[in-house]
Structure 1
Amino acid sequence: MIGGLYSELEAFEAILQHGSFTAAARQLQVTPGAITRRLNTLEARLGAKLLNRSTRRLSLTESGRHYYAEVAPALAQILAAGERVHDLSAQPRGELRVSLPMNFGRLYVMPHVEAFLQRWPGIDLDLQFDDRFVDLIGAGFDAAIRIGALSDSRLVARRIAQTRRILVASPDYLARRGAPSTPAELIDHDCLHYTLFRDTPTWEFHREREPLRVPVRGRLKANYGVPLVDAAVHGRGILQTATFAVADELASGRLVEVMPDWSLLPIGIYAVYPSRDYRPRKVEAFIDFVEATIGEPAVWDRVIAGRE
């Protein structure tokens, strides 16, 4: 009975965590039919319906809410204990769904994926590239790499690197338009603006601890960083960006830093995952892999300094 109840509760937890029977089945590496049978058996055991099921959504019934509130803490401890014991002798395995920022993932994850898959043959990677902060829990992700301020208190965060924000432009652009020496002079320049997180083109500088917000303008903006880097290389204007995104361009001289005496706030790069008492080994393996790939100092800083 105990073994059956455990599998039923495990299926119930997976359905709630991932939002569908199919995703729960994928997580537990069983068929969707097996998930359905386990839930039906649990409901029959309790004599109560736990989930409202339709073709579009799942929701807890009142009985389901009360039951889950009672069993969730104990279930989390049981599942975590089982994973810990299993991990003592087993290699990490299963599908690992990770959300990655588009440019960062392209530059610093994808070139090393083959090495990761060879190191961990039991893991199947599902990488989703999106600069927006997706709902990890609602979308069924195991982990994500996020750049910038964190706000979701349901997630555990581990900082794996830091990057500077800088202004860059091509030597050709600066030869034609001149190099600004203060933020106020940016009003006379074409500024390339990344729109995803802030529609209003305002750049914030710091000097002597006082923030200075400067409105900028330009004829080109985009919600993806790579085309803006290309535009800067081709002399289209001045770009505010992170050093990780332009390390090769700075090292080759295709871009140069503008106004280095005016600081912009650095950006933290974090690995985040749903808050749990225990972090699955497949998640730990991936975070360790990314952190080791970046290194200390970060690989982009070594490239810019000519040491990579």
Structure 2
Amino acid sequence: MIGGLYSELEAFEAILRHGSFTAAARQLEVTPGAITRRLNALEARLGAKLLNRSTRRLSLTEAGRHYHAEVAPALAQILAAGERVHDRAAQPRGELRVSLPMNFGRMYVMPRLGEFLDRHPGIALDVQFDDRFVDLVGEGFDCAIRIGALADSRLVARRIAQTRRILVAAPAYLARRGAPTAPEQLSEHDCLHYTLFRDTPTWEFHGRGETLRIPVRGRLRANYGVPLVDAALRGDGILQTATFAVAEELAAGRLVEVLPQWSLRPIGIHAVYPGREYRPRKVEAFVAFVEEIIGAPAVWDRILGA
């Protein structure tokens, strides 16, 4: 009975983690039919429907949400115990589900992931790119790289690096519109706003013993940094961004720093993972690899000679 319940719970968790019966079957190395039978057996055991199933999506029923909330911690401990057994092997192993910020992940992590997989042949990577702060526990992620302030107390954080916020613009834009000499003059300029920094376009400056919060205006906002950097390179306006995103453009002179005498709040870059007593070796291996990629001082600071 215990073995049957475990396999049913394992299937239930895999379905929620991957969002489909087929992907759950692939993870557990069984057929989709076996996954269906295990879920049906669990629902029959409980006398309640746990999942709403359609051709397009799966969702938890109310009974499913309550049941998962109660069994998930215990199941996580059981799975962690299994991972500890597996970790006695020479190499980290298992599927590793990671959330990466889109621009940072594309620029620094994704180009080196082949090297990570070569080093760790027992690991299979599922990488999701998203600038929002995903719910690691609820969405089944093993770890994430996060840029910015941390708030989720359920997570353990390890600082990887820090990046400065700066203002940049193309030389052509500054030649056409003039370079501002004080933050207040930004009201006369087209400002390119990254909405995930702050919902309202207000930029905060520190210098000369004071803090200034300057409302800015502009006709282009976006929640993804790459098109905003492209817009700045075209001469469309002044952009507040992180040094990691524009180090090469600054070093080549395609962008220049604006108001360098004023500082903006720096941004921490952290690896975060669910807070539990045991951290799988596959997570440790990935975090160490990202730390190796970034280095100390950080690669973008080395590019800029900082």
1:85, distance to aligned residue in structure 2 (A): 1.8
2:161 alignment counterpart: 161
Unaligned 5+ residue runs, structure 2? none
Rounded to whole Å, the distance in 1 between the matches of 2:53 and 2:227 is: 42
Distance 1:68 1:218, change over 3 A: closer
The farther-off stretch of 169-178 and 250-259 is 169-178
1:54 corresponding residue in structure 2: 53
**1:252 counterpart letter in structure 2:** A
**1:12/1:219 CA distance change after superposition, 3 Å:** closer
CA RMSD across the alignment: 3.0
Deviations 1:93-117 (A, max 9, x none): 3433322222111110122122112
Structure 1 residue 42, shift from structure 2 partner: 4.9
Task: Give the Å deviation of 1:184.
Answer: 0.8
Residues in 2 aligned to 1:151 and 1:198: alpha-carbon distance in whole angstroms: 15
Q: 1: CA distance between counterparts of 2:280 and 2:17?
A: 15
Alignment of 1:109-188 (within 5 A): 109-188=109-188
Which residue type is aligned with residue 53 of structure 2?
Answer: S
CA distance in 2, matches of 1:259, 1:246: 16
> How far apart are residue 48 of structure 1 and its match?
4.1
Give the aligned length: 303
Shift of 1:305: 0.5
1:56-95 equivalent positions in 2, closer than 5 A: 56-59=58-61, 61=63, 65=66, 69=70, 73-89=73-89, 91-95=91-95
Summarize the Cα distance change of 1:40–1:292 in structure 2 as closer, same or farther, 3 Å threshold: same
Counterpart for residue 31 of structure 1: 31
Q: Distance in 2 between matches of 1:80 and 1:74?
A: 10
Q: For residue 237 of structure 1, what is the aligned residue in structure 2? A: 237
1:80/1:277 contact within 8 Å kept: no
**1-structure distance, mates of 2:270, 2:190:** 32
**Structure 2 CA distance for partners of 1:5 and 1:54, relative to 1, 3 Å:** closer
Contact 2:165 2:240 in 1 (8 A): yes
Instruction: Tell me by how many angstroms 1:303 deviates.
Output: 0.6
1:298 corresponds to which residue? 298
**TM-score normalized by the length of structure 2:** 0.84
Displacement after TM superposition at 1:15 (Å):
4.4
Closer, same or farther in 2 for the Cα pair 1:108/1:166, shift >3 Å?
same
Q: Compared with structure 1, are the counterparts of its residues 219 and 43 closer, same or farther at alpha carbon in structure 2 (3 Å cutoff)?
A: closer
DSSP 3-state at the match of 2:290: helix
Compute the TM-score of the two structures, normalised by the length of structure 1: 0.84
What do residues 284-305 of structure 1 show as CA deviations (whole Å, max 9, x unaligned)?
2222211110011110001111
Alpha-carbon spacing, 1:13–1:222, altered in 2? closer, same or farther (3 Å): closer
CA contact (8 A) 2:146 2:269 kept: yes
**What's the CA shift for 1:90?**
5.0
Partner of 1:189: 189
Quick check: 2:147–2:269 contact (8 Å CA) kept in 1?
Answer: yes
Matches of 1:301 and 1:93, distance apart in 2: 33
Distance 1:136-1:30 versus aligned 2 partners, 3 A rule: farther
**Structure 2 residue identity aligned to 1:172:** A
Offset of residue 124 of structure 1: 2.7
